[in-house]
Structure 1
Amino acid sequence: MLQILSKLWRYRVGATGLVLCAQAFGAVAQVEADVVQVGQRWLESTVTQVSPVASPNGMALRMEVAVGALDARLRLSPCAKVEPFVPQGTRLWGRSRVGLRCLDGATRWSVFLPVTVKAFGPAWVAKSNINAGAVLMPDDAMEAEVDWAEDASPVVALPEQWIGQVATRSWVAGQAIRQSMVRAPQVFQAGTQIRVLAQGPGFQVTSDGQAMTAGVVGQPARVRMESGRVMSGVVQDARTIRVDM
């Protein structure tokens, strides 16, 4: 009889322990769920009110946010006041994170919540596959709505920013054109005779020289003057380098 009572007592104590553990786990899970909700509400309010960029026609981008989950190993204590914040050096754009810290609780804690911020707006996308080195023609892309925040490189939203440019790498159909995907074409080679436009406060002088490097519009290049002096300037067009004195 004593053995039976002893077994029943151990069973009762064990069951009580399991109930207490389940209650404690449920309380922790509820705290974490509440914290995630605080982060989501704050994030939605923040990114939908202020867009980091605007589309060329002045329309605000359509913002969407999605929150991930806190680290499963966390065991947060209850907190009466949770303050969201943006960690230093972090931008709410694409894959990012939001900080959450307890300001009023038995234990002060600070955690990070993974988030994804999407920004939908008009951009130009490739109609078909594009090979690296191809010069882009007006019919190579069409306008469509894309997620500007999907990639770190900004989208090329205006046609004059990509027509006539050169693809820096291969693309696939439907891919949005971004700044890292295009470059200005080379307009002259090293050894080409070019015009050098030297200018400074109150003067402008034009002379001839020989390019020492290939020339890309808007990029620096070196030129050897007739005197033998080597100068650096910015390529203006297929025949001109501007040198600021």
Structure 2
Amino acid sequence: MRFIFPALIAISSACALAAPQNNDTLRREVEGWVQQQLSTSAAPATITVGEFDSRLRLAACARRDIQLAPGARLIGNTHVRVRCVEGASWAINLPVQINQNVSYYVAARPLPAGQVLSAADIQLQQGNLGQLPGSIVLDPSQALGRTLGTALASGALLRAEMLRAAIVIRQGQRVKLTVRMNGIDVSNEGAALNNATEGQLVRVRLLGNQIVQGTAMADGSVNATP
């Protein structure tokens, strides 16, 4: 009997490898993978993995690699690529629908180009992230204090590319210039030679026509290095 038992094991293993890959198992694995990828997202997601073609018969696979299909994003209607990396040689793209209900911002009223946005200018809405532009404003801090680059009708979507950082220093403005030397802050005053938003470089003319360049700060001052 000790000779027959190993033979039975070998036959059983060969039959198992010959069996086709279970398509339902693949769908569950893809759903689990997508859930894991979205586990850190603040918005809960509903995931629907598409059905396989009923005629599809994939060879049995001992180990699979799951990734987003090239060019796809984990949002809306997308595709996930499953590739067998052990036991067979095949790859397949599965359609996946991801629905995420998020809060986003729109214009609360008609807004002209050049408007510096305040809380009264924006309004909260709810919607499916997969049906919204990728640059939609989800956090009010992305919009408040920014300058609108184009006019918007009431209810129009706020998008990141529409917004510019507010100008904190204007050409000709008197500014405080601070230079740190040997651990000591030395302050002076001068006239700004250009407009600047926070973080941009600004040139400052001091008494005696000396010109110094520094970084514009949110409070309208300038920090420079010697």
TM bin, normalised by shorter chain, reads: 0.5 to 0.7
Give structure 1 stretches of 5+ with no counterpart. 1-30, 55-59
* Residues 124 and 203 (structure 1), Cα distance of their counterparts in 2 relative to 1, 3 Å cut: same
Query: Which structure dedicates a bigger proportion of its chain to helix?
Result: 1
**Whole-angstrom distance in 1 between the partners of 2:225 and 2:100:** 40
Deviations 1:50-81 (A, max 9, x none): 53655xxxxx31213355799x9xx9652223
Residue 44 to residue 77, structure 1, CA distance change in 2 (3 Å) = closer
Deviation at 1:220, TM superposition (A): 0.9
Residue 158 of structure 2 aligns with an amino acid whose one-letter code is I
Q: Does 1:99 align with 2:99?
A: no
Distance 1:235 1:63, change over 3 A: same
The answer to whether the aligner puts 1:191 opposite 2:172 as a matched pair is yes
Residue 169 (structure 1) shift:
3.0
- Whether the 8 Å CA contact 1:123–1:145 is kept in 2: the answer is yes
Cα RMSD for the two superposed structures: 3.9
Deviation at 1:121, TM superposition (A): 2.4
Say how many residue pairs are matched.
201
Q: Which stretch shows the higher mean deviation, 198-207 or 146-155?
A: 146-155
Match of 1:234 in 2: 216
Q: Which residue of 2 aligns with 1:25?
A: none
Find the counterpart in structure 2 of residue 51 from structure 1.
Answer: 38
Residue in structure 2 matched with residue 122 of structure 1 by the alignment:
103
Write out per-residue CA displacement over residues 122-165 of structure 1, whole angstroms, 9 at most, x where no aligned residue: 3333234434322223232222223445333363423x543332
TM-score normalised over the length of structure 1: 0.61
Q: Deviations over 1:103-131 (max 9, x none)?
A: 466x5122334545343223333234434
Q: Is the 8 A contact 1:47 1:63 kept in 2?
A: no
Rate the CA distance shift 1:232–1:115 in 2: closer, same or farther, 3 A.
farther
* Identity %, equivalent residues: 23
Q: Which runs of structure 2 are paired with 1:156-195 in the superposition (5 Å)? A: 156-158=138-140, 160-195=141-176
1:223 maps to 203
Determine the C-alpha separation between the residues in 2 that align with 1:201 and 1:120. Answer: 53
Please, what TM-score do these two structures have when normalized by structure 2? 0.65
- Residue in 1 that maps onto 2:133: 151
Consecutive unaligned residues of structure 2, counting only runs of 5 or more, are 1-19
Residue 23 (structure 2) aligned to one of 26, 34, 57 = 34
